[in-house]
Amino acid sequence: MHRSVQDILNMKKERKKISVITSYDYTLASLCDKAGIDILLVGDSAGMVMLGYENTIPVTMEQMCMFTESVSNARNNSLLVSDLPFMSYQASIEDAVNNSGRLVKAGADAVKLEGGSVMAKTVRAVVDVGIPVMGHLGLQPQTTMLSQGYKVQGRTKDAAMKLIQDAQDLEEAGVFSIALEMVSHEVAEIISKTISVPIIGIGSGVGCDGQVLVVQDLLGMYDKIRPKFAKRYMNLSEDIVRSLESYKNDVVSGTFPREENWFSMDDEAELKKLREHIGS
């Protein structure tokens, strides 16, 4: 049985830190699940790291459903949360409920959406139909980037008070956790201590209840943007390119494939018959 939303809530009560990683495809998701990661997040960052877009704006529901399905096929242990992409929930509560349902049908246990107090009614409506919601505050790539660009959030008292209010409103609306992106670590710690549901930080310091990273950042597979907060645990892109160069050299020099990589006819007699038949 995989982790439930209640398991994640209990982890905060038991002061256990929560590990979250983004996942978009079957192969990597299987490894994340095997590693014991608590939550697999099918983030709309898929638009950048899987589809090569400049930002998350173009991501569609169809794409999110496909990524969700492939991660769902891989997971055995982790909770699976999927992002509602840009404009799949902002225009109406009906959109939010319908599209949350589509992600659940694709295999998600819960959905994530960006926005604070203004999203409280939407969150409540989705939770009311039985779909758990993770909030997303601080830098909100779907909209903050449009208005402010890539900027640390919660650096002044007023900005911090607004974030705290947003978190309280989301908590009251029924979210089971909140992702907190690029918020000053002092404010992130205050929010984590005052809000009862788990706060999952990304670039928001060690005071959060858990951490989330984009899997390609962690594995060193995405070089277009290298955020300060993304710790690289390996440099996989270098290893991959080196392996592909070796493969190419083997093909060119004829050292691949070898006998252990190919198949033979049943026996010499069959080959002889074939040669006679085609006259060579």
Of 185 and 266, nearer to ligand KIV (C-beta) is 185
Of 118 and 251, nearer to ligand KIV (C-beta) is 118
The DSSP element (H or E) to which 30 belongs, if any, is helix 26-34
For 243, which DSSP code? H
The identity of residue 57, as a single letter, is I
- Find the shortest distance in angstroms from Cβ 179 to ligand KIV: 4
The residues of the shown chain that bind ligand KIV, judged by CB under 6 A, are 22, 43-45, 83, 136, 179, 181, 202, 212, 214
Of 33 and 203, nearer to ligand KIV (C-beta) is 203
The DSSP element (H or E) to which 20 belongs, if any, is strand 18-22
Specify whether the CB–CB gap between 93 and 122 falls below 8 A: yes
User: Dihedrals φ, ψ of 44, to 5°?
Assistant: -75, 0
Is 181 tagged catalytic?
Answer: yes
User: Dihedrals φ, ψ of 177, to 5°?
Assistant: -170, 170
- Find the shortest distance in angstroms from Cβ 273 to ligand KIV: 60
Of 231 and 258, nearer to ligand KIV (C-beta) is 231
The residue nearest ligand KIV at its CB is 43
Of 74 and 137, nearer to ligand KIV (C-beta) is 137
- Find the shortest distance in angstroms from Cβ 114 to ligand KIV: 8
The single residue of 69, 114, 171, 181 carrying the catalytic annotation is 181
- Distance separating alpha carbons of residues 192 and 38, to the nearest angstrom: 18
For 18, the 3-state DSSP assignment is strand
3-state secondary structure 151-216: CCECCCHHHHHHHHHHHHHHHHHCCCEEEEECECHHHHHHHHHHCCCCEEEECCCCCCCEEEECHH
- Catalytic site positions: 181
